[in-house]
Amino acid sequence: MNFFQTHRLVKAFGGLLAVNDLTFEVEKGEIYGLIGPNGSGKTTVFNLITGYYPITSGYIEFQGKRLNGLPTWRVCKQGIGRTFQIVKPLRRMTVLENVMTSAFNRTSREAEAREKALEVLDFCELTKKQDYPAKGLTIGDRKRMEIARALATAPELLLLDETMAGLTPQEQADGVQLIRKVRNSGITIIIVEHIMHVIMNLCDRILCINYGQEIARGTPAEVANNQAVIEAYLGKE
Ligand SMILES: Nc1ncnc2c1ncn2[C@@H]1O[C@H](COP(=O)(O)OP(=O)(O)OP(=O)(O)O)[C@@H](O)[C@H]1O
């Protein structure tokens, strides 16, 4: 049994196949990269996994259980957390309160939610900012808080959607450290990211898609040297 797998996954928006016959497996403990040019279907894959969109055909399995058709909150309860490409914190709430709202996914007790939120804020090195209003955070800290919010749902599989976009080189380096730390804590990761040195540095394996279809898969070095990948990003000569 695979830890996580999709099988012949398809998502049609009218006549557009945003995801087209995509099969891949992720092993427990991996950092798995999903890359591809703009509009190639990466976020749609995350939206299918997490139940935001219904699947047109194919299936998704997590720890041997079918996810197809489950509502987002049930997918989360099964142990899949995610961050969003566009970070939308609850702006007037503090950092701690933002993270607590996610922790309520696992408990209805306020004391337990606070304890979990404080634990992940410490893990993400945001303790000092726990009482800041979320709207006052830098982009770097907002992205970090987004990871903290996902971690507060206690995921076994974490989907990271462009958590490095807009960050300074130093913030990117810190982000890479944090993602490694998350993996070392036992959480499996699927990461969508445009910043290639981040992907190449972090991932054990990479799947590259274009127009919703697989064009290459392999180790970072294999994918970086693949002609179809180079053409998808740079165009044909
Ligand atoms: N809700 C929707 N309705 C119609 N078309 C959609 C919808 N969501 C995505 N699409 C289309 O599906 C395709 C894949 O989009 P998606 O956002 O998954 O790409 P992406 O690889 O995540 O892109 P980017 O790297 O720019 O974030 C695009 O052509 C997009 O316009």
Quote the ipTM score: 0.96
Q: What's residue 88's pLDDT?
A: 67
* Cβ of residue 54 lying under 6 Å from some atom of ligand 1: no
What is the whole-number distance in angstroms between the Cα of residue 19 and the centre of ligand 1? 9
pLDDT at 191: 97
Choose one of 9, 11, 19, 40 to mutate for the ligand 1 pocket test, by most ligand atoms within 8 angstroms of C-beta.
40
Counting as low any pLDDT under 50, the low residues of the chain are: none
Query: Ligand 1 atom closest to Cα of 41?
Result: 18
The token pair at 11 is 């998502």
With a 6 A CB cut-off, is 44 part of the ligand 1 pocket?
Answer: yes
- Tell me what pLDDT residue 5 has: 98
pLDDT at residue 233, rounded to an integer? 83
- Give the whole-angstrom CA distance, residue 151 versus residue 134: 17
* Residue located nearest, by CA, to atom 8 of ligand 1: 44
**Beta strands 65-66 and 57-62: pairing type?**
antiparallel
CATH topology of domain 4-87+154-234: Rossmann fold (3.40.50)
- The per-residue pLDDT for range 130-166, each reduced to its tens digit, is 999 988 889 899 999 999 999 999 999 999 999 998 8
Q: What is the pLDDT of residue 6?
A: 97
Ligand 1, atom 31, lies closest to the CA of: 39
Buried b (16+ CB within 10 A) or exposed e, 137-176: beebbbbbbbbbbbbbbbbbbbbbbbbbeebeeebbeebb
Taking the domains of the chain in order of start, what are their residue ranges?
4-87+154-234
- Quote the ligand 1 centre to 41 CA distance (angstroms): 5
Nearest CA owner, ligand 1 atom 9: 44
* Pocket of ligand 1 contains residue 40 by CB under 6 Å: yes
Show the 3-state SS of 86-121.
Answer: CCCCCCCCEHHHHHHHHHCCCCCCHHHHHHHHHHHH
**φ, ψ at 159 (rounded to 5°):** -100, 120
Ligand 1 pocket test target in 9, 11, 16, 52 with most atoms within 8 Å of CB: 16
Q: Can you point out the beta strands (E) in 125-171?
A: 157-161
Nearest CA to ligand 1 atom 29: 39
User: What pLDDT sits at residue 85?
Assistant: 65
Dihedral of the alpha carbons of 164, 169, 173, 178, in degrees to the nearest 10: -40
Instruction: For residue 43, report the distance from its CA to the centre of ligand 1, in Å.
Output: 7
At residue 113, the pLDDT reads: 95
State in Å: Cα 97 to ligand 1 middle.
Answer: 31
SS3 category, 205: strand
Cα 41 to Cα 139: distance, rounded to the nearest angstrom: 25
Distance 34 CA to ligand 1 centre (A): 14
